Amino acid sequence: MLLGLPTSDRWTVFLDVDGTLLDIAPTPHAVRVPEGLVATLTRLRESLDDALAFVSGRSLDEIDQLFTPLRTAVAAEHGAIVRLPDGRMEETDVTVPAEWRAALADLAQEHRGVLIEEKRHSIAVHFRLAPEAEPIVRHAVDALVADAADRFDVLPARMAFEIRGRGVSKAAAVRRLMQADPFAGRLPLYIGDDVTDEPAIAAARELGGLGLHVGRDFGGEPANVRSWIGTLIDQELTEAPPHRPENG
């Protein structure tokens, strides 16, 4: 049962990972999962009758490793890979060409602090450790995609740019999962923090649910998200409007 949400039939919860559940780190591999979070998420999943999903730009393997032993529905790589609740996998057939990957690897070698995050269907170029390289990175990814704009687009993210297949989005992944049991027939609650999450936040609202933003609704702190999630477990639904902890 969920506390602080409007009374309805049942809810389903979609959670972004970096910047939402986990604090942002200097590099993607430096993130840490706070003690007790996996246990809390496991209890939340049980209270929702398995209607919990991670929706992340990370690879599927990384998500599973971060939250082991919890295994749940996942939209990985911004929805390029969707693991349905029954374990079936759905993937886009578009992947970044090898020559583009090689060109971006060369770019990272030429600019100290620029990092490449390789994924099965996409590639992200991070410049958090080299913010002065942002225009160089942007020009490079735009140039690669310029002649293939019908198949690829450039996704601006937090201190990164990512090349992905056109049509892949977290919003599309949420809509797909909402068609599958046990999500179907429920109201979606989506929580995210980045520009990549905005379409999914909007989709949750369009489907009659709630879309919450870490910056606008949780004071910009993943710790506040984690704390609020703890209040959603094993509580009675209330008639009150949704709790919006804008000041933490």
Q: Which residues are catalytic?
A: 16
Tokens of 226: 């984690």
Tokens 């450790």 -> residue: 129
The amino acid present at 22, given as its one-letter code, is: L
What span, in angstroms and rounded, lies between the C-alpha atoms of 214 and 222?
Answer: 7
3-state class of 29 per DSSP? helix
What span, in angstroms and rounded, lies between the C-alpha atoms of 18 and 3?
Answer: 24
Tokens 């949420």 -> residue: 174
3-state class of 153 per DSSP? strand
What span, in angstroms and rounded, lies between the C-alpha atoms of 178 and 212?
Answer: 17
- Containing 42, the helix (H) or strand (E) segment is helix 37-47
